Structure 1
Amino acid sequence: MGFNNLDYICQRVPVPLCSLVGPYGPSDVTILGSAGVATRCYARSIDVANTVIFQVGAAMINIGALAMVAMMIFNVRSKYTAVGRKELTTFLGLYGILTVVSLLVDCGVVPPASPAYPYFVAIQNGLTSATVWCLVVNGFVGFQLYEDGTFLSLFLLRLISIIGFLITFVVSIFTFESWGSLGPRSTSGLFVVLYVINALCLVIYVFSQVVLVINTLYDRWPLVDIGFGVFFFVAGQILLYVFSPTLCDRLEHYLDGLFFATLCNLFGVMMIYKYWDSITREDLEFSVGVKNNMWDAKEVPDGIDGHRSGLYGAGPYGDSGSEFTGSYYALQGNRNSSLHY
C-alpha cells in the first residue's frame, strides 16, 4: 500500500510525515498544505488565543496517556523485586517521550512550515522504532537468558533502542531532505524501517510471550491480557489506515482515525503493563508493600512450649481462647526476582 511511495497512506491518514513526502520536498513548504500529499479528510482545527491547534482529540488522549504512563511507572517501580522492573520502566519512559513529541508535532506546536519540522517528524519516527525495539527486547527478559536489572541487561536494552532510533531517524531525515538516494518520491527505506521492521518486532514480541506463558507458567490468564493487547493495537491500525476517511466524514470532521489509533495504542500499552503485572510477583521478604495473598502457609508445626499445634494455644480461655501463645507458621514467599510460576 505504499512500499515505493506513501501516497495511498497519506491520502487516507493525517500523519505528520505526509506533509514531507510526495511531489514536493520540505523546502517547498511555505504555507500549510503547499507540500506533501493532502489527506482527503482530517479533524478540524481550533483557534485559541490566535493559535491554531490541530488534532485536538488526539491531543487530549496524549495528555491522558502521559498521566497513565506516570501511574504505570510508579506502580512498576513499587514492585522492588519483580522481574523486568527496570526494563519495563525503560519501555514506558520511551512511550512517554514519544507521546510528548507527538503532542508537539500532531498539534502544530512545531509548524509544518518551520525548518525544524522535518527533524521533529524524524525524531517522532525514530522514537516509534525505539519504543517497539525496546518492547521486543523486554519480551526476552522473562526467559532469564541473562539476569534482569543488571548492567548487561540494561545496556543491551538501551543499545538496541538507540540503534532503532538512529536507523529510523537517519532514514527519515534523508527521505525528507532528499539526501543520498532517498527522497520524498522514493520512500521505500522509510516504509521498511517504519512499517515492516516494526511490525515484525511486534509479531516476535507477541509470539515470545505466548511461548513464555504456555511453557513456563501454570496460569493461562495472562494470555487474555496478550489477546486484548493485540486486539487494541490491530483495531487502532485498522481504524487509522482503513476507516479514517469514513470516520472523519461521519463525525463531521470533529475526529478522525488518528484519535482512535492514539486511544487504542494507549490501551495496548496498558495491557502490556497489565500482562507484566500478572506474571510477576515480588519477594515480600525484601519488599515494602506487603500483600497478604502473596504468602503461602505450608505447615503448622507443634507449639513451641509443648502446646498442641494450632492458631490458639492453651490460655486462660482454653482451646477456643483468643490469646496467641507463640505458635508460628512456616511462611514462604516467592523466589527473589522470579516469575509467578
Structure 2
Amino acid sequence: MSDTPTIEFGSFDFFCSQASLPFCSLVGQKFMPTCYARNLEFYGYLIFQAATIVMAVVALIMAFIMIIHIKSKYTAVGRKEVVKFYYYYCLYIIVEVVASTGIIPMYSEYYPWVVHTYFGIVGATCTALLFSGFVSFQWIEDGTPKSLWLIRVAALLSFGLNFAASFLTFQSPQMFDPKKPLILFVLFFVVNGAEILIYFLMQVFLVVTVLDEKWPLGAILFAAAFYIIGIVSEFILGNEICNYCAHYIDGVFFGFTFILLSVMMVYKYWDSITKEDLEFSVGKNQTVWEIKEPTYYNMNDKGQPPRPF
C-alpha cells in the first residue's frame, strides 16, 4: 500500500505504518512500516530488532536491581505495592521481546495468543502503576492483605479485559471487526493512557500539596517527559528515526529505551519520597546512645561522692 494512512480514532493503521508493533500483522489494513531495523541471522534463524533485544536484557537487569532496592527498604510506605508494578513490567519486557523479535514467528498458530497476552500484560502493568500510586495517599494501609489483593485483583481484571478484547477481535471477527478494532483501540490507548496520566497527576498533587521537599517533583516530571518521548518516538516518528539511523535502530528501540528511563525515574521518585530504614542508615555524624550499668560511689562525711583522681 503506497499511501501512508493518517491518524484516525479507532484505527491502528497509522501507528503500524510507523513501527513494527506486535499486533500489526493481525489488525487493520495490515500496514507495515516502510523502514525496518536491520535483522540478524543466527544459526539459520532470522532475528528481528536485535538492538531491542539488547535493550530488553538491560531493562530486565535494571528492573531486578530496582526490585532488590525496593524490597530492601523494609519500612518504606508502599514497598510491597510498588514492587508489584515492577514485576508486571518485567513480564511486559519478556512478552514484548517474544512478540516483536521473531522468537515466535508471525505465521505461527501460537502468535495470536502471544498478541492477546501482550495486550493483557500492557493493561495489567498500567493498572498496577495506577493503584501503586493510590498507596502514597494512605487511603488504605499499605502492606496489608487488603491493599495487596486490591492491586492483584485490579491487575487481573485489566489483564482479562484486554486479553478478551484482543481474542474477540482477532479470533471472533463476527463480534469485533479486526479492520476497525474500536474497543481494542480504546483499551490500548485511551484507558491505559488515562491510567498513566492519572498516576502522574496524583504524584504531582502529592508533592505540591503534602510533601515538604519539592525535589521529588523533578523526578516525576522527568519520568513523564521520558514516557512522552518514548511514545512519540515509537508511534509517531518511527520511520524518520529509522531512516536517520541508517536502519541500525528504529522507533521501537527508542520507545523501549525511553520507557525504561521513565520507569527508572518512577523508582527514583518513589525512593525520594520514602524514608530510609533507621536500622540500615549510615551517616558520618552518627551519635550512638549506649546505656551502661550504673556506677555507685561511697559517700564521704559531707554526703558528696569522692573526687576522681
| TM-score (ref. length: structure 1) | 0.80
Match of 2:94 among 75, 100, 110: 100
> Which amino acid in 2 is paired with 1:19?
S
Taking the aligned partners of 1:183 and 1:17, their CA distance within structure 2 comes to 14
Matched, 1:138 2:155: no
Unpaired runs of 5+ residues, structure 1, are: 24-35, 306-315, 319-341
Matched, 1:292 2:286: no
Match of 2:191 in 1: 197
Taking the aligned partners of 1:296 and 1:179, their CA distance within structure 2 comes to 70
Secondary structure of 1:18 counterpart: coil
Taking the aligned partners of 2:205 and 2:274, their CA distance within structure 1 comes to 16
Structure 1 residue 17, shift from structure 2 partner: 0.6
Match of 2:301 in 1: none
Matched, 1:8 2:48: no
> Which amino acid in 2 is paired with 1:84?
G
Match of 2:84 among 78, 87, 90: 90
> Which amino acid in 1 is paired with 2:27?
V
> Which amino acid in 2 is paired with 1:135?
L
1:294–1:195: structure 2 CA closer, same or farther, 3 Å change rule? farther
Taking the aligned partners of 1:273 and 1:75, their CA distance within structure 2 comes to 10
Match of 1:243 in 2: 237
Structure 1 residue 296, shift from structure 2 partner: 8.9
Structure 1 residue 181, shift from structure 2 partner: 2.4
Matched, 1:21 2:12: no
Structure 1 residue 178, shift from structure 2 partner: 3.4
Taking the aligned partners of 1:2 and 1:71, their CA distance within structure 2 comes to 40
- Count of residues in Structure 1 that have an aligned counterpart in Structure 2: 288
RMSD of equivalent CA atoms:
2.1
Taking the aligned partners of 2:287 and 2:218, their CA distance within structure 1 comes to 26
Q: Is the 8 A contact 1:177 1:183 kept in 2?
A: no
Q: Is the 8 A contact 1:175 1:186 kept in 2?
A: no
1:80-134 Cα distance to aligned partner (Å, 9 max, x none): 1111111111000000011011111111111100111011011111111100111
Taking the aligned partners of 2:231 and 2:96, their CA distance within structure 1 comes to 17
Structure 1 residue 2, shift from structure 2 partner: 3.5
Match of 2:113 in 1: 119
Equivalence map 1:27-38=2 (5 Å): 36-38=30-32
Match of 2:49 in 1: 55
Structure 1 residue 138, shift from structure 2 partner: 0.8
Q: Is the 8 A contact 1:122 1:169 kept in 2?
A: yes
> Which amino acid in 1 is paired with 2:239?
P
Taking the aligned partners of 1:55 and 1:114, their CA distance within structure 2 comes to 18
1:188-239 Cα distance to aligned partner (Å, 9 max, x none): 1111000001111111101110111112110000000011001100011111
Taking the aligned partners of 2:236 and 2:9, their CA distance within structure 1 comes to 17
Matched, 1:266 2:272: no
Q: Is the 8 A contact 1:2 1:9 kept in 2?
A: no
Match of 1:44 among 38, 42, 47: 38
1:181–1:3: structure 2 CA closer, same or farther, 3 Å change rule? farther
Structure 1 residue 293, shift from structure 2 partner: 7.6
Taking the aligned partners of 2:173 and 2:106, their CA distance within structure 1 comes to 19
Identity of aligned residues (%): 37
1:295–1:131: structure 2 CA closer, same or farther, 3 Å change rule? farther
Unpaired runs of 5+ residues, structure 2, are: 1-6, 296-307
Structure 1 residue 294, shift from structure 2 partner: 11
Structure 1 residue 273, shift from structure 2 partner: 0.5
Equivalence map 1:134-213=2 (5 Å): 134-213=128-207
1:305-339 Cα distance to aligned partner (Å, 9 max, x none): 8xxxxxxxxxx9x9xxxxxxxxxxxxxxxxxxxxx
1:219–1:296: structure 2 CA closer, same or farther, 3 Å change rule? farther
Q: Is the 8 A contact 1:131 1:161 kept in 2?
A: yes
Secondary structure of 1:71 counterpart: helix
